[in-house]
Amino acid sequence: MLMTHSERTPYISSKAKPLTGSPVIPGDKSISHRALMFGGLAIGKTTITGLLEGEDVLCTAEAMRQMGATITRFDDGTWECHGVGIGGLKEPEAALEMGNSGTSTRLLMGLVGGHNITATFIGDASLTKRPMNRVIIPLEQMGVTFQAREGGRLPVTSTGPKTLMPIEYRLPVASAQVKSAILLAGLSAMGKTTVIEEKPTRDHTENMLRHFGIEVEVKDLEDGGQAISVTGQKDLKGATIIVPSDPSSAAFPTVAALINQGSEIMLENTLMNDRRSGIYDTLIEMGADITYSNERNDGGEPVCDMYIKASQTLKGITVPAERVPSMIDEFPILSIAAACAKGTTIMTGLEELRVKESDRLLMMYNGLKACGVDCEMGEDSLTIHGDGSAPLGLNKNVTPIETALDHRIAMSFLVLGTVSKNPITIDDAAPIRTSFPDFIDLMNTLGTDLKPA
Residue 207 has pLDDT above 90, yes or no: yes
Determine the Cα–Cα distance for residues 57 and 154; give it in Å rounded to an integer. Answer: 19
Q: Between β-strands 168-170 and 118-122, what pairing exists: parallel, antiparallel or unpaired? A: unpaired
Give the model confidence (pLDDT) of 154-186 as tens digits.
Answer: 999 999 999 999 999 999 988 999 999 999 999
Mean pLDDT within 56-69: 97
Mean pLDDT within 232-237: 96
- Which amino acid belongs to residue 255? V
Assigned superfamily of 5-27+244-452: Enolpyruvate transferase domain (3.65.10.10)
Supply the DSSP symbol for 371: T
pLDDT at 404: 93
Give the model confidence (pLDDT) of 75-92 as tens digits.
Answer: 999 999 999 999 999 999
Determine the Cα–Cα distance for residues 169 and 195; give it in Å rounded to an integer. Answer: 5
Determine the Cα–Cα distance for residues 342 and 315; give it in Å rounded to an integer. Answer: 5
Could you tell me which of 168, 210, 209 has the C-alpha nearest to residue 191? Answer: 168
pLDDT at 4: 39
CATH number of 29-242: 3.65.10.10
Mean pLDDT within 248-253: 97
Counting residues of the chain whose pLDDT is more than 90, the rounded percentage is: 89
pLDDT at 396: 76
CA atoms within 13 A on the CB side of 449: 13
Contact (Cβ atoms closer than 8 angstroms) between residue 306 and residue 254: yes
Mean pLDDT within 105-132: 95
Q: Between β-strands 79-82 and 192-197, what pairing exists: parallel, antiparallel or unpaired? A: unpaired
Q: Of 246, 305, 329, 428, which is the active-site residue? A: 329
- Which amino acid belongs to residue 41? L
329 given a catalytic annotation: yes
Contact (Cβ atoms closer than 8 angstroms) between residue 156 and residue 146: yes
Determine the Cα–Cα distance for residues 306 and 419; give it in Å rounded to an integer. Answer: 22
pLDDT at 189: 97
Residue 395 has pLDDT above 90, yes or no: no
pLDDT at 7: 75
Residue 312 has pLDDT above 60, yes or no: yes
Residue 126 has pLDDT above 90, yes or no: no
Determine the Cα–Cα distance for residues 286 and 336; give it in Å rounded to an integer. Answer: 13
pLDDT at 333: 98
Helix (H, G, I), strand (E, B) or coil at 375: strand
Give the model confidence (pLDDT) of 253-307 as tens digits.
Answer: 999 999 999 999 999 999 999 999 999 999 999 999 999 999 998 877 999 999 9
Distance spanning both ends of the chain, measured CA to CA: 24
Residue 432 has pLDDT above 80, yes or no: yes
Q: Give the other-Cβ count within 10 Å of 15's Cβ.
A: 16
Q: Model-level pTM?
A: 0.87
Q: Between β-strands 216-220 and 79-82, what pairing exists: parallel, antiparallel or unpaired? A: unpaired
Q: How far is CA 29 from CA 34, 249, 388, 406, in A?
A: 9, 9, 33, 15
Contact (Cβ atoms closer than 8 angstroms) between residue 366 and residue 427: no
CATH 3.65.10.10 intervals, the chain: 5-27+244-452, 29-242
pLDDT at 5: 40
pLDDT at 2: 36
